[in-house]
Structure 1
């Protein structure tokens, strides 16, 4: 991937995932989430095939010079109440996305990844824009997700998860995931506990939300 060291983000194409992308996505996951890969918390081929069968419109990849450098997995859900506590396993049906429903009102971001060598180059932003486009295409009220508090392990002796998240919101602390989410127009709602087995976040995640500015209530029957 030596060609990735110099990158013009305009050369990156975001498109819908197809079946032939699956091996490349698995490799991307292994290299993007080395810590989670050690405990098996990355996508497996059977899960990725299920995603394409259940909700093909919500699966995206970022491509550079014919190689997959990023991916995003989404499903449509209907949370009741709208800010209900949940775990990653429950909301995604343990990664199979069988909880997806076209009758829902929210696009749920199950996963987003970019290759370590092309981070901070605008690829994640393009994938988020792709998700926003999906949200607007299906006239969904919002996009939501649980983002692991990536750097919380470094501050757990000083702050509660909520205190840490609020400091990130106030730009007093930088968090690899939550800071990126905030830059991309999300707002922090609350802390989700026992969200995902993850040593870095100590299993805590931030419930984040982006509201669709073009949501049309008149079209809801």
Structure 2
């Protein structure tokens, strides 16, 4: 395992605050579940919060893809991934590609790091922690010499426009800046680029069950290798 540990300063306007991004371990499970509860309150189904069996798989099967961020010794966000063997055009659901969050299909020889989940406690999102967590996963991709990072983003703003436009038009309007979507716009700001819309990606009424597959290509990966 390549251990990850990074100290940095994040800002609330002009006020700096020291943060640490590191691999999470079994000692962090209760705190990670608390972050999930704060990040995804009702009506988000509680059965979709992390459970300890899932978290155990994360740290045992692919610890490099299990990162958390803490401020003042308190965990306030996390990001989780697994390795897959990805070929352009592959269609999948979130359950299929992540083994319903258990990552039991993690492939040690996979060419891509797939993001299972990212969450940050709402009161601390002002620090930009989500963007730093994503940046840390990009660094993991480079360290492991993978081709790319992938993940399906929710489109939680789509339900407001679904009566007047289809999903492809909605995505194009996000890309043109006509519509702000809290998830997809965030991922664009993190450097992710769209690959394509996936129908029935996850159970999510706000997104009408769509996901937008988005990637980040390893800029150090040589063509043909």
TM-score (norm 2): 0.90
Q: How does 1:24-35 map to 2 (within 5 A)?
A: 24-35=31-42
Q: Residue 15 of structure 1 is aligned with which of 19, 22, 25?
A: 22
Q: Identify the residue that residue 206 of structure 2 maps to in structure 1.
A: 200
Q: Does 1:96 align with 2:117?
A: no
CA distance in 1, matches of 2:157, 2:180: 8
How much is the aligned-residue C-alpha RMSD, in angstroms? 1.8
Consecutive unaligned residues in structure 1, runs of 5 or more: none
CA distance in 2, matches of 1:133, 1:202: 33
Moved over 4 A (4+): 5-10
Aligned residue for 2:83, secondary structure, equals strand
Consecutive unaligned residues in structure 2, runs of 5 or more: 1-10
1:37 Cα deviation from its structure 2 partner: 4.0
Show CA shifts across 1:94-127 (max 9, x none).
Answer: 1110111121111100100010001142101110
Contact 1:139–1:216 at 8 Å: present in 2 too? no
CA distance in 1, matches of 2:76, 2:61: 23
CA distance in 1, matches of 2:118, 2:66: 10
Show CA shifts across 1:4-39 (max 9, x none).
Answer: x95856511111111111111111111101146425
Q: Identify the residue that residue 137 of structure 1 maps to in structure 2.
A: 143
CA distance in 1, matches of 2:216, 2:42: 28
Q: How does 1:50-89 map to 2 (within 5 A)?
A: 50-79=57-86, 81-89=87-95
1:161 Cα deviation from its structure 2 partner: 1.3
Q: Identify the residue that residue 181 of structure 1 maps to in structure 2.
A: 187
- Structure (1/2) with the larger strand percentage: 2
Contact 1:30–1:37 at 8 Å: present in 2 too? no
Contact 1:61–1:127 at 8 Å: present in 2 too? yes
